[in-house]
Amino acid sequence: MTQKSLHSHVKSYVFACTNSSQEECFKRLLFGSNKVYGSAAMRVEEGDFLFLWNLDSDLLYGVFRAARDAQFNMIPEAWEGKYPYQVKVEPVGKIIPLKDAKRLLNSLNVERSSPISENKTLAILELYRPSLLPINQWFEHLAQKETTKGLEILSEPKSWSLLAHIKKAEEAVEQMPRLQPTTLWDFPRQSYGSSSKGNNKYAGVTPAELIWNLVWRYTEPGDLVVDPMCGSGTTLDVCKEEGRRAMCYDISPPPYRKDIVKNDARKIPLPDNHVDMVFIDSPYGDNIRYNEDPNCIGKISSETEEFYDELEKVIKEAHRILKPGKVLGWLIGDQWVKKKFTPVGFLLYARLTKYFDTVDIICIARRNQSSNTGIWANRARRFNFYLRGFKYLFVMKKPIPNEKRAEEPREISWTYYRREKIKKS
């Protein structure tokens, strides 16, 4: 028997611990992650292989198998609640620590934020093979569902040497997005992963990674996300994949999306204080033909007060259905047409602040718009105007009733760094 003895679509994941948290991992036979790696952790399915990387000792413990699908807060008290994206594990034989784990994972181009591909998984599993056990028997053993009861760890870490057939450039099973650390977001592609999210040919389609970042920053698995202007359904597709519930509406849903409810965003059919997050990618004028519905806000010019009055009706509905303390993300762009600039983002933001507190304002780089060509770039230089290079993402929070707010200026301790004096020559 060979590596084919293993179940099809073999994949694995790396979880991490420290000296202080390792004992609890082994005692509970439980691996956990924080929000940074939560998306990958929640993709673990029963039977997947797992490895535990101690960041302090730089040892990679294996081999483990997922005893069941990952769950959110399976054991809430584990690690004092710091790592709620959890997987129950079982050891496959004796647990062996490999030395120089960081160098090993780097050499394989393996990241904790994504699943490990089949070929790389098999290569890592081979490193754990007992020296006297033939390779075919080793993979036959791994294919068996029965595992060693209890937990026995070899006292002496095992050295490893790179295998010639390992290809560093090989892609993971599914390359996952990462949480954006700054207020400048740039997504080269509309979608991510192995399945499409929304329709990248749809007018005004939203980058899927943008929604992914909002979902993972401001919601948890099982939370309800609402998109009242969802277009081709990007929000719906992201939420389904990330374990969130979603209610998505559009005034003119695509005929091929039966899971999108036809509805006007100015009247959302949901109760008050019901939703964990709202995301809106609204028209920013009548510059795009979104659909043929005469009531579409995208048929109103953003140079008129009426446009913002209608969007304020949507703002009021988003505020009504959101739970207190929860977040609204609103994507909007400015307009420049026929030598006139309209600060659509600023004008909308003024309306938003009437109902919401500001969490932050993020700049989203614009790509793939029809003006992103050499001809239009040349025209912008010749005729002295600017092409729209970004959109605003306003992240707003619904205030909590009776929440105490600081009325006096806060005292902030700033850290200053001395600059080295430049020696004059």
Give the CATH number, domain containing residue 123: 3.10.590.10
CA proximity to 98, closest of 122, 119, 120, 129:
129
Range 358-372 average pLDDT:
84
pLDDT (0 to 100) of residue 26: 95
pLDDT (0 to 100) of residue 62: 85
Q: Is the pLDDT of residue 219 over 60?
A: yes
Average predicted confidence (pLDDT) for the chain:
86
Q: What is the pLDDT of residues 45-86, one digit of tens each?
A: 999 999 999 999 999 998 899 999 999 999 999 999 999 999
71-72/275-281 β-pairing? unpaired
pLDDT (0 to 100) of residue 380: 83
Residues 224 and 357 in one domain: yes
Range 362-389 average pLDDT:
82
Count of structural domains, the chain: 2
pLDDT bucket at 420, cuts 50 / 70 / 90: low
DSSP designation for 162 = -
pLDDT (0 to 100) of residue 408: 74
Q: For the ranges 37-41, 224-228, 291-295, which has the lowest average pLDDT?
A: 291-295
* pTM for the whole structure: 0.86
> Which of 91, 122, 143 is where one domain is finished?
143
Contact 224, 245 (CB under 8 A): yes
Residues 226 and 287 in one domain: yes
Residues 127 and 201 in one domain: no
Count the neighbouring beta carbons within 10 Å of the beta carbon of residue 372.
13
> Which of 114, 143, 172 is where one domain is finished?
143
Give the CATH number, domain containing residue 210: 3.40.50.150
Report the distance separating Cα 347 and Cα 335, nearest Å: 12
322-332/275-281 β-pairing? parallel
% pLDDT > 70, the chain: 87
More confident: 114 or 143? 114
pLDDT (0 to 100) of residue 175: 75
Range 417-422 average pLDDT:
66
As given in the structure block, the two tokens for residue 223 are: 């939370």
Residues 200 and 138 in one domain: no
Q: 84 lies in a domain?
A: yes
Residues 285 and 369 in one domain: yes
261-262/275-281 β-pairing? unpaired
Q: 129 lies in a domain?
A: yes
Q: 174 lies in a domain?
A: no
pLDDT (0 to 100) of residue 154: 58
Strand partners, 165: none
Q: 392 lies in a domain?
A: yes
At a CB cut-off of 8 Å and minimum separation 6, what does 162 contact? 107
pLDDT (0 to 100) of residue 365: 92
pLDDT (0 to 100) of residue 172: 47
Count the neighbouring beta carbons within 10 Å of the beta carbon of residue 322.
25
Q: Is the pLDDT of residue 2 over 50?
A: no
Residues 125 and 75 in one domain: yes
Q: 290 lies in a domain?
A: yes
Contact 237, 191 (CB under 8 A): no
Q: What angle do CA 331, 332, 333 make, to 5 degrees?
A: 140
Residues 202 and 346 in one domain: yes
pLDDT (0 to 100) of residue 324: 97
Structural domain span for residue 27: 3-143
Q: 178 lies in a domain?
A: no
As given in the structure block, the two tokens for residue 348 are: 């909308």
Residues 91 and 191 in one domain: no
CA proximity to 89, closest of 26, 29, 47:
29
Residue type, 339: K
Residues 126 and 211 in one domain: no
Q: 420 lies in a domain?
A: no
Residues 112 and 199 in one domain: no
In Å, what is the CA distance from 102 to each residue of 12, 109, 114, 182? Answer: 17, 10, 16, 26
Q: What is the pLDDT of residues 167-206, one digit of tens each?
A: 554 554 567 889 999 999 999 888 888 788 888 787 778 9
Q: 30 lies in a domain?
A: yes
Report the distance separating Cα 360 and Cα 57, nearest Å: 38
Residues 124 and 206 in one domain: no
pLDDT (0 to 100) of residue 1: 37
Residues 114 and 227 in one domain: no
